[in-house]
Structure 1
Amino acid sequence: MRAARKAVAAVAALALLASLAACTTGGPVAPNGGDGPAAGSWTVLTYSIADTDLEPFMMADLGEMGEVGSHDGLNLVALVDRSADYSTEPVLGQADWTGGKLLHVLPGGAEVMDDLGPVDTGDPAVLSSFITRGITAFPAEHYAVIISDHGASWPGVGGDESADGDPLSLAELNDAIGSGLSAAGVAKLDLLGFDACLMATYEVASTLAPRADRLLASQELEPGHGWNYTALEPAAQGATVDELGSALIQGFQSQAETEGDAAEITLSLVDLGKLPAVDAALAAFSNGLVERGSGIAPVVGRTLAGTLGFGRSPDPAEDSFMADLGILAGEIGQGDTAEADAAGTLVRAISSAVVDKVDGQSTAGATGLSIYFPPQKAYFADDYRALGTAGGWLDFLTSYYAAGGAIPGGEKARFTDSGAEISFGADGLSISATLDPAGLGNAASASLRYGLIEADGSVTYLGERPATVDAGGSGRVHGGYDLTQLTLGDGTDTTPAYAQFGDDTGAAASGPGSGSVTVDVPMAYYSPGDVAGETYQDVLLSLTLDGASGEIRNETYFAYDDKLGSYGELTADPTGIIVPERLNVQGDGTESWVGTSDYGLYADLPALHYAFARLPSGSRLRIDLTVTDFGGNSASVSGTATVP
């Protein structure tokens, strides 16, 4: 069925190309009297896949472009595919429309170059045609293409809802950009940007390196407002590609600070001309890891568990499993001296390639490029094998998972205690137990999960926090819980929620610390009038807390697209319903995520309030202390307690 739909889309794309080629409106703005591209001139082409729930944000982006507008030295061209469902606002002097329009953006308005009607922006032929048209109609010395929508890292971008959620895969992006440039007679872009989540990855950069001099993208989930397009103005002043990239980074940071969501941002400008050096360094690093096999795997597993990650979720089915490549390599090199030289070379190659970047309080230290690394083979997506990216990383992953699967039974994670030691103190509850020394060296991560024991014996878990394995080799595992639960309220109702504290928490598990604390909260959103879950969306609420005070510094709601595996900021109707979810475990071990109430909260997101409320005295708790080794083998020890 998909192949047939693609064949039809290809025919439509050919018709579109003919339409674009025939269009004669909207000539270039040339400051030199029309004698050809002026020195320092720019044409910026924006591919807005707005036939999604991000449409309202993208219309605001177009308004920002209109504040700059095409003028001497700069032409702004946008292909904008709008939805019938999410926004009816006029933009750039154009009344609301459904389908695609090709716009020449002018100061405060736009000239319609073509009304494309229904168009599948997930069809690579449409992107290719747009690039060719924009370049040939508006010749310049410098060219930029910015693709805006949901992003999913290496699986690609987009998800055109009027075309059955059709995305652009990484291979399709590569082919479309290459063919579009070739037809226009241009070797490569100066700047390729992704105003989308999770696209600053090694896989994206390595694949698309032949297509542009610079890549501008985010490692982390982006807030809905995305980039600040008024920052394109320096292009009209003859900015270099690095100057324009830095201006966009600064504009993004400034807007995020104004919007109050700067704590979790990332944006990096990557010199793709230096990717061959990164490829070579990653290959040497990966080969070393493969040669060391099971000898280095425990170090890798422990390092991965503490490495800054992006697009994380309490539900593994919705986790992107993207880890910061520079941090990962650097920490592995510090943990194993035999890998120090190769790791250092890779870290330096990444640092050299990343021209400029910004991070936030929760993403501090992000190096600019992430890489796919599921901690267990069970989470690995087979589609990754088809990427064919350089660097030997797939060989390493294969070797790593093989080493994990070969851990002898006697060396898997196992507790010597039959039960955990639980005590109460001023900071709440503490739990500890001892690992069997035979499996201690393979331990990768430890966590504490806590929940309420229900009348039927099942457990409704309230959250999860990192635990620690004693670095001195004693085998003791420690965790702490402050006896609070996260609650959300809309001014009328209050409901509890599940809170997963990140491994990068700046607060000790049993008390306040320093830095920042990230908390992920699984939720569901239902549009107004939903009676049978037909508009249900999985949602992740991402919170950033101040590590010292516990004050919430940042909150952003991200909707999950299970077709692409991508996130984008939730567009919620205030009269819709948002329902936090908690994990329920039955006596037979069956796990399910369930809504925390039958009524939910009104989805007026800015008006929702949050609190960590202490559990009532007498609450019956189950506490699970879990250690997982690098092979994914887990051991847990549990205890029960009553809140004093």
Structure 2
Amino acid sequence: MRAAAIGAVLVLVVGALLAPLLLAPPARAVTAEWTIMVYMDADNNLEDVGIADFLEMARVGSTSLVNIVVQFDRAIGYNNSYGDWTTTKRYLVQQGMTPTINAALFDVGEVDMANPASLVNFVTWAASAYPARHYFLDLWDHGLGWQGVIVDGSSYMTTAQLGSALASIRTALGRSLDIVGNDACRMTLEIMYELQPYADYFVGSEKDEPAEGWPYDTFLSAVVAAPLMTPIQVGTWLTAAYVASYLGTSPYSVTLSLVSSAALPPLLSTFSGFVSELNASVPLLQTQVLAARQSTERYERGGVAGGDEFDLYNFAENVALDSGSPRLAALAGDTEAAIASAVLANGVWDNPNPINGVHARNAHGLSIWFPDTPGDPAYPLLALSQATGWDAFLAAYRTGTPTPRPTGAQARSVDTSVPSDGLFDAIRVTATPPDNGTLLVLLTEGPAILSAPQLLAVKDQPEALNLSAPHAGFFGVTVLYYVGGKLSDLVTATGLPIQARYWFNGTVTDAQGRAVPGATVTLQNRRTGLVRGSVTDAGGGYSIETVVPDFFVDGDALVLAASSGGRVASAEFVASARGTSQTANLVLDTRPPEPLNVALLGLAAGGTTAAILLAVLVLWQRQQILRLRRRLP
């Protein structure tokens, strides 16, 4: 493995994360703090890097508080160093150790590492032989995305088998593992949710890893130096160390995330709502869904671009931006928030020119399988599929032809007051559904849904309802029409005003606090240039009537100015359409200019004239003297 390139990034992480623990090293304990169990299946083309990673671990070595335990399976024909043994051995890695036959604790023979029973045997043995307060299981090998991990010969451990193995481990240990990590490619959301009941945290990459994998020397040095680190601190440190080890040097983009197992059930519950609306929205919104997928960051297949794992957050983000359905957008936003809560640390370095064309600029920590055409019968059996219906969406999102069934839905602002006051105070929505179904009417302000009344739609029966808003402004209305659970029509109207009168009141006074009558007061909207005005009364008071949102909307910059006798005072503020009025007082210095003193003015003018005459006289005298000197012999 390459030497880890630790720079300023890791210095900062160490300072923030580990300094309190490094300052007070713990006393020797009977039970270790951490047992790191590395299930290293190098019985394939990864044998070279398996040996390199073992040597990295040995640069640090186990201590009384940190056990580094490795089950190492080697291959035939890739690397003949250290005795060229090809069976499976177990090691308690010590500082300076090499992976020789004699350094091993014992040889367990030729083991099928892809067999779940082999994994159970290793972990239960390691936990019994090297008990600790915290257990970190590192699954080291090739990763196959949701399909599984640990490739031994022609077989691999499926995600379902991995879940079964961890269930047995949990039963044997009587507790969950603290961290399960994949030093392997593409640890997807499907894998994590399958293992959710059996681990507290997960560490993995949502895309392919470079062959060199994790920087074990850097990672383990910190754990050994600060063994009281919590699982969150250990996982966070690993994500930072991993990214820093490739920063600026790898030809690939890299990412590694720490995910909370406890946050996955609420995430899947939220995601299920999003998936349900996605299922309902196709084929009508098929074009929009395909466009969102096309814009989403996707990862590798066979080491190059074009894989079937997509960043889930980025997909939800694109759906929210481009679907045209406020309901779908809101559910996508909820999914984004749930992912952000579940991903506790997310290290990313996006190579600007990755050699395989795969970026990580939109990697948010969790990827999901999103193929062009699903066909694997094992996928619907996964816990994620059964909890969310994502498999059903995958089977349907490209099928069918978008065929709207128009309702003729319309929305317009109306004045419902009696007697009429000339202001729009409601939005009237009308529709005539062509079939029995459901009408969902959304009142929106920006991306927010303010209300969502639902009506039972009866074939050819006109429907009408008035929507009221919590305040004046511009609003949108979207009418969603479902038949048989499928979206059949979507109509959106925007920029619908709800109006209300709004007064700006106050006084204009001079510096001594005296009322200034007759002052001109103006109110200008900087965005639109619109101006309203008033003149102060005998008491210096003014009142300017406006209508929201005609004159201003929330967030507009307004300039209030007053003038009298050539003097001006002004104030600028940000408008709020909440309420019905606002008070703003202005203070002027309205003392009139001092009158001109005619006598002094005349004296000054006379003095100026005298000075000019005197200067002319002096100049004339000098010229006469010069002429006289020229005449002298």
Q: Shorter-chain-normalised TM-score: which range?
A: 0.5 to 0.7
| 8 Å Cα contact 1:290-1:396 kept in structure 2 | yes
- The CA deviation at 1:320 is 3.7
Q: Deviations over 1:44-94 (max 9, x none)?
A: 00000100101101111111111111103100100000011111222xxxx
1:518-529 aligned within 5 A: none
Which residue matches 2:183? 195
Which of 317, 321, 337 lines up with 1:334 in the alignment?
321
Q: Deviations over 1:292-347 (max 9, x none)?
A: 221222211011111100114699xx954111100001110111223121111100
Residue 151, structure 1, aligned to residue 151, structure 2 = no
Q: In structure 2, what residue type is equivalent to 1:133? A: W
- The CA deviation at 1:248 is 1.4
Distance 2:63 2:316 in 1: 45
Distance 2:198 2:27 in 1: 28
Q: Which runs of 5+ in 2 are unaligned?
A: 1-25, 351-358, 404-633
- The CA deviation at 1:273 is 0.8
Which residue matches 1:257? 247
Work out the number of aligned pairs and report it: 360
1:4-83 aligned within 5 A: 35=30, 37-38=31-32, 41-83=33-75
| 8 Å Cα contact 1:282-1:392 kept in structure 2 | no
- The CA deviation at 1:196 is 0.5
- The CA deviation at 1:113 is 2.1
1:292-303 aligned within 5 A: 292-303=281-292
Q: Which runs of 5+ in 1 are unaligned?
A: 1-30, 409-644
Which residue matches 1:503? none
Instruction: Flag the structure with more relative contact order, 1 or 2, with Cα contacts below 8 A and sequence separation at least 6.
Output: 1
- The CA deviation at 1:34 is 6.7
- The CA deviation at 1:382 is 3.0
Report the TM-score, using the length of structure 1 for normalisation.
0.54
Distance 2:313 2:290 in 1: 16
Residue 309, structure 1, aligned to residue 298, structure 2 = yes
Which of 156, 160, 167 lines up with 1:178 in the alignment?
167
Which residue matches 1:19? none
Residue 385, structure 1, aligned to residue 380, structure 2 = yes
| 8 Å Cα contact 1:268-1:358 kept in structure 2 | yes
Which of 254, 265, 272 lines up with 1:283 in the alignment?
272
Q: Is the deviation greater in 392-401 or in 59-68?
A: 392-401
Distance 1:103 1:205 in 2: 28
Q: Deviations over 1:204-254 (max 9, x none)?
A: 111111111111001111111100112123333211112111221222122
| 8 Å Cα contact 1:212-1:272 kept in structure 2 | yes
- The CA deviation at 1:33 is 6.6
Q: Is the deviation greater in 54-63 or in 286-295?
A: 286-295
Residue 215, structure 1, aligned to residue 212, structure 2 = no
Are the structure 2 counterparts of residues 314 and 256 from structure 1 closer, same or farther at C-alpha, using a change threshold of 3 Å?
Answer: closer
| 8 Å Cα contact 1:70-1:106 kept in structure 2 | yes
Moved over 6 A (4+): 31-34
Q: In structure 2, what residue type is equivalent to 1:84? A: I
Distance 2:235 2:369 in 1: 25
| 8 Å Cα contact 1:77-1:104 kept in structure 2 | yes
Which residue matches 1:97? 85
Which residue matches 2:125? 133
| 8 Å Cα contact 2:215-2:245 kept in structure 1 | yes
Q: Deviations over 1:339-366 (max 9, x none)?
A: 1211111000001111111222221121
Residue 123, structure 1, aligned to residue 115, structure 2 = yes
Distance 1:33 1:251 in 2: 27
Which residue matches 2:237? 247
3-state SS, counterpart of residue 112 of structure 1: coil
Q: Percent identity?
A: 32
Which residue matches 1:369? 366
Distance 1:257 1:58 in 2: 22
Q: In structure 2, what residue type is equivalent to 1:100? A: T
3-state SS, counterpart of residue 388 of structure 2: coil
- The CA deviation at 1:202 is 1.4
Which residue matches 2:312? 325
| 8 Å Cα contact 1:102-1:115 kept in structure 2 | yes
Q: In structure 2, what residue type is equivalent to 1:103? A: Y
Distance 1:320 1:157 in 2: 17
3-state SS, counterpart of residue 361 of structure 2: coil
| 8 Å Cα contact 2:285-2:402 kept in structure 1 | no
Distance 2:292 2:139 in 1: 33
Distance 1:352 1:207 in 2: 19
Distance 1:205 1:118 in 2: 29
Q: Deviations over 1:103-144 (max 9, x none)?
A: 111111164222012110011000000010011111111100
Distance 1:384 1:369 in 2: 17
Q: Deviations over 1:508-564 (max 9, x none)?
A: xxxxxxxxxxxxxxxxxxxxxxxxxxxxxxxxxxxxxxxxxxxxxxxxxxxxxxxxx
3-state SS, counterpart of residue 93 of structure 2: strand
Report the TM-score, using the length of structure 2 for normalisation.
0.54
Residue 356, structure 1, aligned to residue 345, structure 2 = yes
1:414-493 aligned within 5 A: none
Which residue matches 2:393? 396
Distance 1:210 1:285 in 2: 23
Q: In structure 2, what residue type is equivalent to 1:387? A: L
Distance 2:229 2:251 in 1: 26
Are the structure 2 counterparts of residues 324 and 34 from structure 1 closer, same or farther at C-alpha, using a change threshold of 3 Å?
Answer: closer
- The CA deviation at 1:380 is 3.7
Residue 88, structure 1, aligned to residue 80, structure 2 = yes
| 8 Å Cα contact 2:289-2:319 kept in structure 1 | yes
3-state SS, counterpart of residue 277 of structure 2: helix
| 8 Å Cα contact 1:160-1:166 kept in structure 2 | yes
Q: In structure 1, what residue type is equivalent to 2:202? A: L
Are the structure 2 counterparts of residues 347 and 262 from structure 1 closer, same or farther at C-alpha, using a change threshold of 3 Å?
Answer: farther
- The CA deviation at 1:263 is 4.1
| 8 Å Cα contact 1:198-1:221 kept in structure 2 | yes
After superposition, the CA RMSD in angstroms is: 2.2
| 8 Å Cα contact 1:81-1:119 kept in structure 2 | yes
Which residue matches 1:169? 158
1:408-419 aligned within 5 A: none
3-state SS, counterpart of residue 192 of structure 1: strand
Distance 2:43 2:223 in 1: 28
Residue 108, structure 1, aligned to residue 96, structure 2 = yes
Distance 2:261 2:291 in 1: 31
3-state SS, counterpart of residue 396 of structure 1: helix
Give the greater-gyration-radius structure (CA): 2
